Amino acid sequence: MITWREGVVASLGAAWDGAVEVSVRGADGEVLRALAYPAVSGEPRPGQRVLMTTAQLDRGLGTGGYAFVVAAPDELPGDAPSAPGHLVKARYTPLQQLVLGVDDQESAHHETLRDADDLTGMPVVVADLHSAVPAIVAGIRHAALRAGRPLPRVAYLMLDGGALPAAFSRTVAGLRAAGWLEACVTVGQAYGGDLEAVTVHTGLLAARLVAAADVTVVAQGPGNLGTGTRWGFSGVAAGEAVNAAGTLGGRPVAALRVSGADSRERHLGVSHHSLTAYGRVALVPADVVVPDFGVGPVLGVPDDDGVPPLEAGSLTALGARVRQQAASLAEPVGRHRLVEVETGSELMTALSSTPVRLSSMGRSLAEDPAAFLASAAAGVHAGALHAG
């Protein structure tokens, strides 16, 4: 189902690499908050007539509260100059994109990737949610800084289970601008990264051999999909990413999706998404990182959002629940290795210093510290693997 709306751009808002927020006034006078991708619809300007789609906004789905600008029919952008590349992404939709893949025959990197088959032990951190990415990178950097080592080069591989345009992610734009990410690699139907690749496999190889990444983080783009069923969620791709990393000779590191604030039992402690993706889909052994929350200063979360910090007992109890749940993934019951990583005040400080806002399922660092500490712990372990 597509719901179309027409309006006139009233004003421009925030802009970041590849995207611009616009306020659009409809024929009924209602002003909608919309997002335009200049590469698709051209540069927006006040007074311009635009066509938008609003079905997801009307249904209250997780799109950041945006309508999406499809076109400015009176001012269509000119044809792009002829360029190499024959990868079509968002294939056979009206907004399909023709891009130059890093693995394309016309790419300067084709020869490098044609027979490539080895990640040479590169740590690959896999996560369910896009919101885990900045916390994982914070953990990677924290491990290096704490040990007095040079900061590793980190790449982000964006799966297509969520948003397809990389430009939708303000997180990626912010991490790239801050120098926390060397490259974003978009794979599958996702597009708009620094490097485009056909599959997770060539994307990982490109991160290693083209972007020269020391560690790669793999997660879907913003806007994961779930149906409240055992198998009906886009995060199953996390298990498949573990398989790809292990098959190619990388070191898969599984970041657990953890929450101490989710009201849904299936997501409290370790989410069933992680238990299913790593326990049933991942067939290659991985290091499953279990955060050791401990007690003490780690619980003194800055109250920037007016949310009181959790009491000591609650995170202690949550940690015990997480360890119990994660045990089902480990040998001899499962196939993975459990690795406990201590979290503490230093890691919390590292999280509070990220160049982008931390938010997971609408909750901040203060509201659900366990979610971000679990992701950061996986980054700490990956950083240690790189150094080792």
pLDDT in tens, 112-137: 999 999 999 999 999 999 999 999 99
Angle of helix 369-387 relative to helix 312-326, nearest 10 degrees, comes to: 60
pLDDT above 90 as % of the chain: 75
pLDDT at res. 296: 37
pLDDT at res. 13: 97
pLDDT at res. 302: 37
pLDDT at res. 63: 64
Cβ contact 203:197 at 8 Å: yes
* pLDDT tier for residue 312 given thresholds of 50, 70 and 90: very low
Cβ contact 171:179 at 8 Å: no
Measuring CA to CA, which residue among 294, 289, 301 is closest to residue 344? 294
Residue 258 has φ and ψ, to the nearest 5°, of -125, 145
Residue 305 confidence (pLDDT) above 50: no
**Residue 187 CB neighbours (<10 A):** 29
Give the CA-trace dihedral at 229, 235, 236, 242, to 10 degrees: -160
How far is C-alpha 168 from the geometric centre of its chain's CA atoms? 11
pLDDT at res. 271: 92
Tokens of 257: 């999706």
Cβ contact 254:241 at 8 Å: no
Return the minimum-mean-pLDDT range out of 115-124, 283-292, 356-365. Answer: 356-365
What is the pTM (predicted TM-score) of this model? Answer: 0.92
* pLDDT tier for residue 81 given thresholds of 50, 70 and 90: confident
Residue 309 confidence (pLDDT) above 60: no
pLDDT at res. 301: 37
Q: According to DSSP H, which parts of 62-127 are helical?
A: 110-114
Query: Where are the chain's structural domains?
Result: 4-71, 113-387
Residues 6+ apart with CB under 8 A from 351: 135, 138, 358, 365, 369, 372, 373, 376
Measuring CA to CA, which residue among 24, 33, 22 is closest to residue 6? 24
pLDDT at res. 225: 87
Q: According to DSSP H, which parts of the chain are helical?
A: 38-41, 55-58, 110-114, 132-147, 170-177, 200-209, 237-247, 272-276, 312-326, 345-352, 369-387
Q: According to DSSP H, which parts of 35-109 are helical?
A: 38-41, 55-58
**Residue 49 CB neighbours (<10 A):** 14
Residues 6+ apart with CB under 8 A from 239: 276, 277, 278, 280, 281, 282
Architecture of domain 4-71: Beta Barrel (2.40)
Return the minimum-mean-pLDDT range out of 155-164, 190-199, 261-270, 329-338. Answer: 261-270
Q: For residues 331 and 187, which has the higher predicted lDDT (pLDDT)? A: 187
pLDDT above 70 as % of the chain: 94
